[in-house]
Homo-oligomer: A and B are copies of this chain.
Amino acid sequence: MSLKGRELRSTVEGDRLILTLEEVDIGDPADDEIVVRVEAAPINPSDIGLLLGPADVASLERLDNDRPGLSFRIREARLASVAGRAGQSMAVGNEGAGTVVATGSAVSSLMGKRVGMIGGAMYADYRRIRAADVIPLPEDASAVDGAAMFVNPLTALGFVETARREGHKAIVHTAAASNLGQMLQKICIADGIPLINIVRSEEQAAILKAIGATWVLNSKDADFAARLADAIEQTGATIAFDAIGGGSLGSEIMQAMERASVRGMAEYSRYGSTVFKQLYIYGALDTSPTVLNRLAFGFQWGVAGWLLFPFMQKAGPEVAARMRERVVRELKTTFASNYTRTVGLAEALEPDVLRAYERKATGEKFLIDPSRG
């Protein structure tokens, strides 16, 4: 007789997006599976992408039945992009942590253990999952400590790994005061890699300076472009990771890289410098188009999407294992996440709460604890 529990679901129905809590059967674990009681699951920007993606939050309405639930109008421009998920009730929540409450026969040693896990459907009372997809937490780590041990830590480590593999010696990062950005800064300090942090407020700059950042630039400053060019020239940065995506900030970064490279050239070339500049777009804080003023940075450049899982696959199991081990080792230092608010599962569908985490304000970070109701 298997457990029942609630799961948060997002469904596109015609031109509406519907959020509900569904009562589901957890099902008995297979031999290599466990059932985890979810005690902590972070709300990452990528979760909000699936949860609300195309919805116009201002159009929020409560469902008019007994279940907790919300309904939104989908912005017309985004309708085509979500045609693929129409009618599919999608479970949400990339990662989380909790306590093992049932096990398959081959993995019974995990019973009662606290584990971190990744694989979706974490905004739920229980998650049945393959034992291979969880990591047992160290004795002194709480579920909160392990809730976000995959996406941000592995992404930050993945950036450094990518930069090294591709031969870059310094990194530029945008929206740099995020939890992810703070982890990246701590890694770069430990590994001796210069990191240029781009933020949008003095408050964000202060967060990074407090953890020892050397290079912090505020893109709202009047002399931002000049300071960026200087920082790039002094560090030799030729790779950037951009969480924003829309607009021309990525282009401005590559232009500054090009300017720094051209200063070192003996001879003019109409094709620009011979130094390769790479911009990776890993987020979509700005959903408007990316604008590349490419004539300002020659022909030696690349722009690409960057996603954690394709990167991990390309990097291979040894690199992945090394990265995971580092996360466990530094779980409460480098990879500590700060949460400003913890909410229950039903509470996550309260209009005021939803509007608060949907803003994705830097410094604010929400955690879901289903045991709170």
Interface residues of A, Cβ cutoff 8 Å to B:
46, 49-50, 53, 81, 84-85, 88, 90, 245, 248, 251, 262, 265, 268, 270-271, 274, 281-282, 284, 287, 289-296, 298-307, 310
Contact = CB atoms under 8 A, between A and B. Distances in A.
Contacts of A310: 274, 299-300
A357 to B, nearest CB: 17
Copies of the polypeptide in the assembly: 2
A46 B271 CA distance: 9
Contacts of A289: 248, 251, 291-294
Contacts of A50: 270
16 contacts: A49-B270, A81-B296, A84-B262, A84-B265, A85-B270, A248-B289, A281-B299, A282-B299, A289-B291, A289-B293, A290-B292, A299-B305, A299-B306, A299-B310, A300-B307, A303-B303
Given A289-B291, A303-B303, A84 B268 contact: yes
Q: Chain A: interface secondary structure?
A: mixed
Contacts of A90: 268
B304 A302 contact: yes
Given A84-B265, A88-B268, A262-B84, A298 B294 contact: no
Given A289-B291, A289-B294, A299-B310, 10 more contacts: A46-B270, A81-B295, A84-B268, A251-B289, A284-B295, A290-B292, A291-B291, A291-B292, A300-B307, A302-B304
A271 B307 contact: yes
Contact of A294 (B245, B248, B251, B271): B245
Contacts of A302: 302-305
B300 A270 contact: no
A290 B307 CA distance: 22
A121 to B, nearest CB: 13
